[in-house]
Structure formats: structure tokens, C-alpha cells
Chains A and B, each alone.
Chain A
Amino acid sequence: MASRLMDVAIIGGGPAGLAAAIKARESGASDVTIIERAETPGGLLDQCVHNGFGLFYFKEDLTGPEFAQRLIEKAKDLDVNLELETMALNMTQDRKITACNSKGVFTIEAKAIILAMGCRERTREAIMIPGTRPAGIFTAGTAQRYVNVEGFVPGKEIVILGSGDVGMIMARRLTLEGAEVKAVVEVLPYVGGLIRNEVQCLIDFNIPCLLEHTVTEVRGRQRVEGVTIAKVDRNFDPIPGTEQMLECDTLLLSVGLIPENELSVAAGIELDPLTGGPLVDEGRQTNIPGIFAAGNVTHVHDLVDNVVYEGELAGSSAAEYASGAASPRKRIIRTRPGKNIRYVVPHSIAADKDAVLYLRVKEPGERVSIKVGDVLTKPLRFVKPSEMIKIEVPARDLRKIDERAKELEVNCDVRRSTG
């Protein structure tokens, strides 16, 4: 079986993988290969034909395919090797990847690996919606692919469960395609996705969003004929007597994304149960030396701009590791989510390096302070679980941490009114 040696191998050619490849090349890695399952690189950006991408990274308002194209061209200019229609089947701790394509099965031995497999959507089955099992139930991202790439409209009377970003974007997209979106149903007391999507996709198109409601039954034997929805109590249990029947031929689900880590787990990479992604350090290295992770495989992002930043971080770390020049980390401090913080990435930082923390809150809040240990405080007017918070912690602040401290707790406190 053919085996190839290289500096950096990247699994996944979406925005994280492309950005990592570009940065790895720019940082001096000579042989960089992306293994991508699909026929074209770009990942899910390909099906995101709406705009709003790149406002931070390119300081421009781009569509998904435009954003992807910029990365693809740059990667090609830098001679990044793209193995398309190629599936990584297995990965080992000594950084061997077994992959296959129509030419056969082959092995790659890489000095460093970057995991950039992205995420998948939570399904009807995972959230246990009762009822019949007909055609006409789609995750929002799959429906997006059908509409924007394949050229089909799944149905004409749509109910969407979950107000995640893809769900809201599809509410608008399907309306523009001539379908009727009867309602977006959200179990939480607030919208799940970005505020800008709520405004531009639901409010601007008069699509009702029913908060604190859920789908309690799917009806129809062959094709969806309707759903029953009901109001929920604080435990998210349906309240008897509040049921309403909605006739529809299609149910879309936008109920969450899960980092895709089957390859990682099989290789013994430790995951954070809070993010579903690998435990990583400030350079995005996992618990296995030489294996890095970036983008949605690490934690689900809401903006591709941040995915690209993270990809670049992993790319430069991987290139450094591959060159053998990586300096040992001196003092390591673990990060820990505290009050009203769902998770913090990275999970550990080196006290002598600048760090960027990505985090999410558990509950929405107004006029809060994010406190990083007692070294840094960042006041914020609003926080929402759907909007990721990015905090830069310079090394000079980290040096203030007590020498004996091993942990850095991040808390979200409500600010006291100052009158």
C-alpha cells in the first residue's frame, strides 16, 4: 500500500482546513495536504449563498462561496495539495492517516495533523420527536444543500423547529423560493441564533417565531401531513391543553450542531463534554502531541471569521511542530468555565504567551462583566448563548496570575447599577 510522507496533513477542506493550510505554508511548512471528502473544497460555505460573511476577516460583506473562493485561491497559490473526493478512514497517535479515493487506499505519514472535520446537525431522532416516520423531515443544513446546490425545494408548507442560524436563514430562503413558512418553533424563551438573522430572516419576512414551544408529534404515514406543537413548561415538557395542529408537508430542524469527532475519538483524543470537541491548548494542540484541531470540530462557531482565525492558529502551531522548533511550554494554566459560562476554549494556556479565549454564556444577560480570573475584566452590554465571545488576554496580564495558581476561572457577573 502506498505511503506518503509530509509536513502537515489537514483533514477537512472547509474554511478551518483551508485557513490552516495557508498559514502552515506561510509559516514555512513545505508539504501541506488537505484531505477533503467532497468534490470541491470550501466545506459548507458552498451552500451558504447568502451574504454576511467576512465582515471581520476581510472587512467586506461576502457570500459564502465568495469567502471560500478567496481561501481556495490563496491555498492554490501557495501550492497546498488538495486531495479531493478522498475520505480519511482512520488516524493513529503516531500521525498516520489511512484514506481512500477512487485510485485506492493509501497512507499518509505526517509530522503534524490538523483536524478540521467541522460539525454535523442534530437530528430528529437525537431530540426524540415522537410520531410517525414519513418523508419530509430535514435538518436545515441538508435542506439548504438541496435548495442552494442541488436545485430542489423540499416542500411548500414548512414548519421549522429550532431557531438556530441555519433554520432562520432557510426560513427566508424558502420564502423567497415561494414556499410558505408557517412558523419557527423554539423551545427556549429566546431565539437561538444571531440577532442579525432574527431581524433579517424572520422579522423582515413576517415569519412568526413561537418561543417556548415545541413539536410534540409528527403526522403522516408516507409524507409529513402536519405537526402538533405545544407550549412548554420550565422543564421543556409540553403543557397539556396548549396543543395546536399545524398542517405542513415539511418539517425542518435547526436544533444544534455537534462537532464531528469520530476519527479523533478512535485515535484516543480526549474531548470536552461541554463543547463536544477536543481539549486543546492555546495553539490548538490536542492531548496527542502533533495533532491539532480548529474550527467547528473544536467547538461550534457562529461566524466563519472566527473559524478562520482559529484555523490560522492551528496552522502556524502545526508548522512549528513539524519543523521541530516548537519550544516546550513552561507554565501551563487550565481555563475553567465559572458562573454563567458554558465553555471556554482553549482548555489550557501557557502563561508566557498571548492568549485568545473563545467562550459562550449559559443564559442571556444584560450589562455584564466577563472576568478572566482577577487579571482582566471585559464589560459587555448584552450576552447571549448564541453569540460567541472572544477575549484577548495578553501575556503581560497572564503574568499577574499568582505563581501557584493552576487554574484560571472565567465568570460572567451582572454589573451592579452605578446609578
Chain B
Amino acid sequence: MKTRLESDVLIIGAGMIGASIARELSQYKLQVTVVEKSLDTFTGQTKSGHGFVYSGRSLNMALSLVLKSIMSPGVHLFEPDSIKIRLGAEGYELFEPLAKRLDVPYQPAKALIIARSDEELRGLKQLYEITDSMGIKEDVRWMDRKDVLEMEPKITKEVRAGLYEDKWMKSIFPPEYALANVENAKENGVSFLYGAEVKGITALNEAFVVETEKGSIKSRFVVNAAGLYADSVAEMAGARDGWSLTHNRTQMSLLDKRLGKELFRSINSVQAVPRPGFFEGIQIQVHGNPYVHCGGYNPALHKEATETRREWFKENVECGQRLVPAFSGRDVITSFVGLRSFNTRDPDDHIIEFSKRHPQFLNAVIRLPGFAVAASVARYVVNLLGNQGLHLEENSDYNPHRKAIPIFSELSDDERNALIRRDPKYGHVVCRCETVTEGEIAEAIKRGARTVQGIQFRTRAGMGRCQKGFCGPRIIEILGRELNIPRTEVTFKGLGSEILKYKSKELLS
């Protein structure tokens, strides 16, 4: 089925950045279309990003600057006017009110950075100085060994000193934030086309024709928010302007929720001062699962190089133990590899600009921390579009609010009863590890989940310790029923990932 659509703005990519821009544009009277190659919002970097939103002026940003200074000595450490720092600070200001409007769960992050050697101690002091130039020194507490161990007795006894900050970072579950933007943009009239990989882009006089798997779309403006594939999309339009992307990757291991409470008393993020090309940390996502991430910036040879490696499993466990000796590999419930992208023009900054050749084609090539800057990038992009002649007339029907799917496991018993009275499916627990009900799963499908992974990231069903052992058959059954398709067509993450290939006795005939 090929469609032909006309659009004022076409956004390529429904990840965190594309979704945020779509939502921001949805407050104006515009025809906005988002095309996405996969069947859901969180299949690329949005899925595997770490769960922290931090300010351009924060201890965590200072940490990444220290890492950079170690890797390329002599560079300016804190450049308050760089687009990265500006959007980072503004994005953080925007995050909390936005999260409240969109009903996105978040928690203040209580972050500790520790030093365990002379070298790390020097780095820690440098970090402290950077927080001064950032203007947040008074929010950061220098702690000696005794203070650290008193606050967190399970931290390694090797600790020499630490820095603590709890004002400038929030803990989230990344897919929820992206989805909230998608749902709210949809509610306000944005069209999302999934399974619509871009095949070609033709520039006309005052518009582009974008050919996708789902048909062609003519649009006056195009925003390239294709993440990992931003370079190939720009190339198709002749809008790459000399930059390309490099990628590196890190393997992360997610731990059983129970450990969240066991490892730390009050903090939810511990990292060590990085050494050249090597960082390590244990952090707890908003729903309580700790994860460990460590290692060098390992180059990724291609954009789908997300396979896990044996040596990295080992490395993650060892890093975890160097931070908290009680850390155990036995509690790992899943491991995955996340890719970061850097543009070759200025790996340390974003590219957010119109193409030189096509002034209506805007590249939004965002480096990490993408979740932290998504809201401010969206504003910035809309401003640029306005300046370039996009007519921004406010849509009086615009609804800035969105309600999340109820999270049964986090409700009080009275709230649970009210929900069950409304819909008895909320009384039927499908995923026992995460206590997810059939009501939540059915609602996720109503909101656009088409795959098992889509259910997982919307409801957390199957994300627990048994990894779909018990609820997998039920989720497939519910997907088949609600989508009215045979269970043999239900996929894990899109076409080609069918889970049950044959019916009983089919192989015998």
C-alpha cells in the first residue's frame, strides 16, 4: 500500500530527538509527519541510552569534560557558549516541567564520583574546579574517605575521596520519555509512519519528495533526526556538508531490581574518575534496576554492531566489583550494547543547522547526552524553522498534557481496586517479575505497541529476572488477540523476528 502525503514538515526518525521535535511542532497549525524505519520508537539509540538527564552545568557534565581533557590535553574544558553546554543547561530547565506534563516517571539522581588512587584523586580535584567554573560548586560536596563510607558503607574500601551532587541530574527510563513525546504529538495531530524506511530524497524547488517503504511524502521542510543513520539520510538529500559519523559502543549489564536496594543506602549513581579512554559506573534507573557500564570507547565498525561480547561481560562484573565489592554477576538479568555517534566535524558538539545546498533541509545530529538536550533541541529546531519561513501559528486545540499507562506495581491497593473496577483486566497479573497486568498490556497495544519489544518497553512486562519465561506465551497470545493476527505472525521486534514459526504438526505434513 503506497500513500502519497503532503506535509509542512517531515521528520525522519521517531527516536528521542525526532519525537521531541514533533511534539514541539504540534503546538502550531501545521501538517507534521514523522517517518521511522522500524516498527517502534525505541529501536536505535533511544532504547539503549543510559537513564540520566543531566544539565550542561552538572557534576556529570564535568565528568565528561575531564574525560575529554584526558584524551586531548590542552583543550578548553568548559566552554559556556558552546551549543552543547547552552542546550544542556536549557534542556535540563525544561525537563522537569515537561516530565510532569507528560507524566514521565523520574527521580532526582544522587550522584557520587569517587577516587581510589593518586591519579584519580588528581582528576577528582580537577572535577571540583570545573564545577566552580560552571557555577555549581556550592551544590557539590567534597567528601573524604570516612564521609563516603559512612554515607555508603558498601562502596569499596579503596575509596580515597568523593564528590557528591543531587541537584543537576534526574534518573529516567529512556523509552518512556521518548514515547510520552510520541503519544502527545500524535494526540495533537502529528502523523507517525512506522516501517517507513527512507529510500530516496529528491529536492524540488520549494519542497522535497521523500520516498519511503510506505509511500512518498512531499514536504516543504525536512528535519533529519535519523540518529545513527543521520549521515546516510543527509547523503541521500545531498545535504551532508562534509561531516560524517563515527560510532563507538559500550556493553551494559542490567541487574535485578532487588540489588538497587542492597547496593546503596541513598545514592543512585556511583562512578569513578575516568582514566584515559576508560570509565566505570553503577547507576540505578528510575524503576529500580541498577546497571553497570564500563570500559573504553570501543569503536563500532558498523551501525548495527550491537552484539555482546564475552570479554565485556567479565569486564562489567569486574568494574562493578571495583566500585562495590558486593556486586555479583549472578544478579545480571540482561546485557546489551549501546552505540554513541559523533560527527567528525566537531565530535564534542551537536550539528543543528540547515544544509548549505538545501536551506529547507535541517540536520539535527545530536551527540550524547541526547535525552538531556531533547527538549531544548526541539525548541531550537522550531526556532530555526520559523526563522527560515515556516509559519508558526498557534493551534488553539493544543493539549500539552499526556497521561501514562497506569503502573499497577507502583499503585496503592485502593488505586489498584479502582482500576480493577474500571477494567477487570487490571486484576490479571501477566508478568510476575515486574507485576504487570493484562490491562496495562492491552492499553500499550491500544497506544501503538505492535511487537513483544514494544510491550516490554511500554509496560516493563518481560523485563524482569525471568526474561519472558512465564509471561512470553501470554504476551504473544494477547498481541495476537488484540491485533487480530495469528500468533505465528507476532514478532519480537519487527518483520523477520517471528517467535513461533510453525503450528503444531505443521512440520510433519
CA distance A141 to B341 in the complex (A): 40
CA distance A238 to B310 in the complex (A): 10
> Could you tell me if B507 and A104 are in contact, using CB atoms closer than 8 angstroms?
no
Tell me if B502 is interfacial: C-beta within 8 Å of chain A. yes
B residues less than 8 Å from A125 (CB atoms):
332-335, 467
> Could you tell me if B501 and A153 are in contact, using CB atoms closer than 8 angstroms?
yes
> Could you tell me if A105 and B508 are in contact, using CB atoms closer than 8 angstroms?
no
16 intermolecular pairs with C-beta atoms under 8 Å apart: A89-B435, A123-B333, A126-B465, A134-B492, A134-B497, A135-B492, A136-B499, A145-B473, A150-B473, A150-B477, A151-B504, A152-B487, A152-B500, A154-B501, A216-B310, A222-B495
A residues less than 8 Å from B428 (CB atoms):
85, 101-102
A residues less than 8 Å from B424 (CB atoms):
102-103
Known: A100-B429, A130-B313. A153 touches B467 (CB 8 A): no
**Residues in A lying within 8 Å of B, measured CB to CB:** 1, 37, 85, 87, 89, 98, 100-105, 120-121, 123-126, 128, 130-136, 139, 141-142, 145-147, 149-156, 177-179, 216-218, 221-223, 238, 249-250, 262, 265
Contact partner of A103 among B420, B429, B488, CB < 8 A? B420
> Could you tell me if A177 and B427 are in contact, using CB atoms closer than 8 angstroms?
no
B residues less than 8 Å from A102 (CB atoms):
420, 424-425, 427-428
Contact partner of A178 among B306, B309, B332, B508, CB < 8 A? B508
> Could you tell me if A153 and B500 are in contact, using CB atoms closer than 8 angstroms?
yes
CA distance A325 to B506 in the complex (A): 59
**Residues in B lying within 8 Å of A, measured CB to CB:** 258, 304, 306-310, 313, 329-330, 332-336, 413-414, 416-417, 420-421, 424-425, 427-429, 432-433, 435, 465-470, 472-473, 477, 487-488, 491-508
CA distance A152 to B477 in the complex (A): 12
Known: A104-B421, A152-B504, A153-B507. A132 touches B473 (CB 8 A): no
B residues less than 8 Å from A141 (CB atoms):
469
> Could you tell me if A155 and B309 are in contact, using CB atoms closer than 8 angstroms?
no
Output the least CB separation between A39 and chain B (Å). Answer: 10
Output the least CB separation between A139 and chain B (Å). Answer: 5
> Could you tell me if A156 and B502 are in contact, using CB atoms closer than 8 angstroms?
yes
B residues less than 8 Å from A177 (CB atoms):
504-505, 507-508
A residues less than 8 Å from B495 (CB atoms):
222
B residues less than 8 Å from A120 (CB atoms):
465-466, 469-470
> Could you tell me if A105 and B413 are in contact, using CB atoms closer than 8 angstroms?
yes
Known: A130-B307, A134-B492, A156-B507. A104 touches B427 (CB 8 A): yes
> Could you tell me if A135 and B499 are in contact, using CB atoms closer than 8 angstroms?
yes
> Could you tell me if B420 and A151 are in contact, using CB atoms closer than 8 angstroms?
no
A residues less than 8 Å from B488 (CB atoms):
152
Closest to B427 in A: A102
> Could you tell me if A153 and B502 are in contact, using CB atoms closer than 8 angstroms?
yes
> Could you tell me if A132 and B306 are in contact, using CB atoms closer than 8 angstroms?
yes
CA distance A89 to B420 in the complex (A): 15
CA distance A218 to B307 in the complex (A): 9
> Could you tell me if A128 and B500 are in contact, using CB atoms closer than 8 angstroms?
no
Give the interface centre of B304, B306, B335 by most chain A CB atoms within 10 Å.
Answer: B335
Contact partner of A130 among B310, B332, B333, B492, CB < 8 A? B310
A residues less than 8 Å from B502 (CB atoms):
152-156
A residues less than 8 Å from B498 (CB atoms):
135, 223
Known: A121-B469, A154-B501. A104 touches B417 (CB 8 A): yes
Output the least CB separation between B328 and chain A (Å). Answer: 11
> Could you tell me if A222 and B413 are in contact, using CB atoms closer than 8 angstroms?
no
Q: For the A-B complex with A37-B432, A130-B309, A135-B498 known, give 17 more contacts whose Cβ atoms are closer than 8 Å.
A: A1-B417, A89-B429, A89-B435, A105-B417, A121-B469, A128-B313, A147-B504, A150-B473, A152-B502, A152-B503, A153-B502, A153-B506, A177-B504, A177-B507, A178-B508, A216-B310, A221-B304
> Could you tell me if B432 and A87 are in contact, using CB atoms closer than 8 angstroms?
yes
Give the interface centre of B306, B332, B432, B487 by most chain A CB atoms within 10 Å.
Answer: B432
Output the least CB separation between A48 and chain B (Å). Answer: 16
B residues less than 8 Å from A134 (CB atoms):
492, 497
Closest to A224 in B: B497
Output the least CB separation between B404 and chain A (Å). Answer: 20
CA distance A131 to B507 in the complex (A): 28
Output the least CB separation between A185 and chain B (Å). Answer: 16
CA distance A124 to B467 in the complex (A): 9
Output the least CB separation between A89 and chain B (Å). Answer: 7
> Could you tell me if B503 and A178 are in contact, using CB atoms closer than 8 angstroms?
no
> Could you tell me if A179 and B467 are in contact, using CB atoms closer than 8 angstroms?
no
B residues less than 8 Å from A100 (CB atoms):
416, 420, 427, 429
Closest to A174 in B: B507
> Could you tell me if A1 and B414 are in contact, using CB atoms closer than 8 angstroms?
yes
> Could you tell me if B500 and A154 are in contact, using CB atoms closer than 8 angstroms?
yes
A residues less than 8 Å from B414 (CB atoms):
1
CA distance A149 to B465 in the complex (A): 23
> Could you tell me if A123 and B497 are in contact, using CB atoms closer than 8 angstroms?
no
Output the least CB separation between B473 and chain A (Å). Answer: 6
B residues less than 8 Å from A151 (CB atoms):
503-504
Output the least CB separation between A119 and chain B (Å). Answer: 10
Give the interface centre of A87, A128, A141, A223 by most chain B CB atoms within 10 Å.
Answer: A128
A residues less than 8 Å from B503 (CB atoms):
151-153
Contact partner of B469 among A87, A123, A136, A216, CB < 8 A? A123
Contact partner of A121 among B307, B413, B417, B466, CB < 8 A? B466
> Could you tell me if A249 and B420 are in contact, using CB atoms closer than 8 angstroms?
no
A residues less than 8 Å from B435 (CB atoms):
87, 89
CA distance A125 to B313 in the complex (A): 10
Known: A128-B313, A131-B308. A105 touches B416 (CB 8 A): yes
B residues less than 8 Å from A223 (CB atoms):
496-498
Closest to A253 in B: B469
CA distance A222 to B304 in the complex (A): 12
A residues less than 8 Å from B492 (CB atoms):
134-135, 222
> Could you tell me if B329 and A128 are in contact, using CB atoms closer than 8 angstroms?
yes
B residues less than 8 Å from A179 (CB atoms):
507
Closest to B502 in A: A153
> Could you tell me if A135 and B491 are in contact, using CB atoms closer than 8 angstroms?
yes
A residues less than 8 Å from B500 (CB atoms):
146, 150, 152-154
A residues less than 8 Å from B497 (CB atoms):
134-135, 222-223
CA distance A285 to B120 in the complex (A): 51
Output the least CB separation between B211 and chain A (Å). Answer: 24
B residues less than 8 Å from A89 (CB atoms):
429, 435
Closest to A101 in B: B427
A residues less than 8 Å from B307 (CB atoms):
130-133, 217-218
> Could you tell me if B501 and A155 are in contact, using CB atoms closer than 8 angstroms?
yes
